[in-house]
Amino acid sequence: RNNKKIATIKSNKIKSYTDKKVKAGKKYTYQIAPYTKVKGKKTLGVKSYKIRVKATKRNGKKINPARVVIPDFYYEDNYNVGLHESIKLHAKARVNKGLKKKKVYNSKLVWSSSDESLATVDQKGVVTANDNRKTGTVYITARAINGVKKVIKVYVMDYMNPSEISKKVYVDEAIRPVLTTYYKQLTEIAEYFSYTDKCADVKFNLNEMCDGIESDSNINMPENIKKDIYDLMYNVSVEVEVKDNTLVVSLINFLQIIQLLHIK
């Protein structure tokens, strides 16, 4: 407590400790240091993070946080973030339910990531996926000053890889070729428009084309990308549009999966 040893717990079965020598209104900092004994010699392990609490009176209006929650307005069943992208998470330190007249004396949260090679999080709760093409699950923790916490599972996804997305979304047989036969073309198009700066607006429409890709804009596009777009439009009834540095591949009459092919 406050950088001074106050107790030694000799049994690993004891999971809690009550400090009774505190004064109301005073703030305290606690830290735990594990230890082992080898041949009678005590060796300390890595210390825990510090927790800060305020000793409050039973009738006090402000008390220590009892839980960390996600407000209903911001709650989602799944939290996903694409490579290079960011999402904002929301959490609040709260008192126990039923104590409506009381408030937490300090609502500050400390955010941390379980795997920064996947995604980092700043102290405003903004999660940013790294640009190393690594995908997977990362656990973001919002911890109140006294140690109570909320752990949020976030999936880092590669939206340019249709094979990942198709596992999670039902795909109608009519447009299955987009994610199978023309998988390579779709991936090449997505990678090109994601990693290369674009400064032109252009819209491709199969009805207006004769041979190859035509447009009224001077977009500098490699021939292989033009061919990929043409193959998609000719074989799968799609409309391809490049606008404001964004590629949108729209499948007619299948609005429910347009999001799968919206690459920024």
For the residues 237-256, what does the mean pLDDT come to? 58
- Give 55-110 pLDDT, tens digit per residue: 877 777 888 888 999 988 888 888 988 888 899 999 999 988 877 778 888 889 99
Domain ranges of the chain: 1-55, 67-157, 162-263
Does this model's pTM top 0.85? My answer is no
Structure tokens, 219? 């977009």
Average pLDDT value over all residues in the chain: 76
Alpha helices in 28-159 (DSSP H): none
DSSP string computed for 67-100: EEE--GGG--S-EEEETT-EEE---EEE--TT-T
Tell me the C-alpha distance between 100 and 40, whole Å: 51
Highest mean pLDDT pick, 94-108, 151-165, 211-225, 249-263:
94-108
Q: How far is CA 126 from CA 25, 91, 123, 129, in A?
A: 33, 11, 7, 10
CATH 3.40.50.620 assigned to 67-157:
no
What distance lies between CA 108 and its chain's CA centroid? 20
What are 184's two structure tokens? 């390579």
* Torsional sign, CA 96, 101, 106, 109: positive
DSSP 47: P
Rounded mean pLDDT of 237-244?
63
